[in-house]
Structure 1
């Protein structure tokens, strides 16, 4: 059987294109212009994306209600939005129809959104928490039925550490959708205690107030703020003049502080007698 050779017209056509500059030159120039235009779009697009990132970050930096993480999130959205437009422009530069591509991307985004609706709800809740800031790092809170100290807050979850040093990761959807109790936002009132003592024998009123206040200030576990106060009042069975000592104890130490103050006053009262016995 005789073998058939490839048509000679194909080789002649290729050789004709290669040998004839008038045929290949417009093809090369046309595609080179497309490549140069695409490169120019990419360079300008990347510059614009960087500027969008910088401008959004700088604009949000002046707001006290926008967290640093949230600034980075919004600036990244602006940057990727510009880059998406740049990619579509580059594809259009090569004659690719982007309308159908945009429709495919939209359908894919919808499908991904439906599949990840729980995760996206946590993301939306995280954005709301970062904007409105119902609590901050280090606050003692009750969120999602859990009580502890906030260790970190991300776009998807909140980390709480309990008093027993147990880590709890709570999805932001559960945090934002339930009541939040913050025990740190408002300063707790300082607990104060009072001690009433009669005016020591032989002490004048002004001298007694000064000396007893000095004793109270020097007593351990008495907080410096608010400062202890010493005032005069009438009381007791005989309605006599009493010295009212008001102080802020450090923790649960009111009883020991009162004991130390009374002991120090008694020692001050005994000093003149000791000096006379020593003489």
Structure 2
């Protein structure tokens, strides 16, 4: 990358948005060029650096098209409906996109895939480098432990998270199911209550915990008679997601149009 990457942040007044702004301001190869806020937000019209006691000269705006006219990449960790609206404008303006938003339905995933034919997009349910390394470890573990092991995925997040299971937990399930030649939609169990009968050995179970300020904990358990293998990742700060997102943005700067994920960014394929 030959010049400072002009970065825009969506959802600048949210918890993750503020972490992303702070990360961009501290990054040697990125400059903060725009910050988006939702209509009606108290932060609109304010300097994006105000929460940190800084003057950046970048004002939080709700006019997405105007805000994105002079940026290289938008980093978006908002909600599916907002991200898809931003996606349409990014396509129109030729702005690249890093998506950390989770909870997309099949239509939303299809829209991202279609847009990848025109602009560069990195989309991942978790931008943490450690989590994405865990995906690779899970692929290896699933292939080695393919027979005789029951698989359960447990995840915990803060009380404000609105989707469950988390996008990261679902992606972990997809990685394991793909490695085993299974269809996650057919073998996933998302809750158990009452008399459930014996466990189906081909199933992949999910358990969800919500409470407090947990940033994100994920554990995949491979359980057999006499032993248990666990692969876990615990995030203690949202900064890890921001650093991964900026790593993805810098990587994307020199890439052609396409839909990529963090496995591509980290050369783990």
User: Shared fold by TM > 0.5?
Assistant: no
State TM-score, norm by structure 2. Answer: 0.22
Structure with higher helix content: 1
State TM-score, norm by structure 1. Answer: 0.21
RCO higher in 1 or 2 (8 Å CA, sep ≥ 6)? 2
Structure with higher strand content: 2
Structure with higher Rg: it is 1
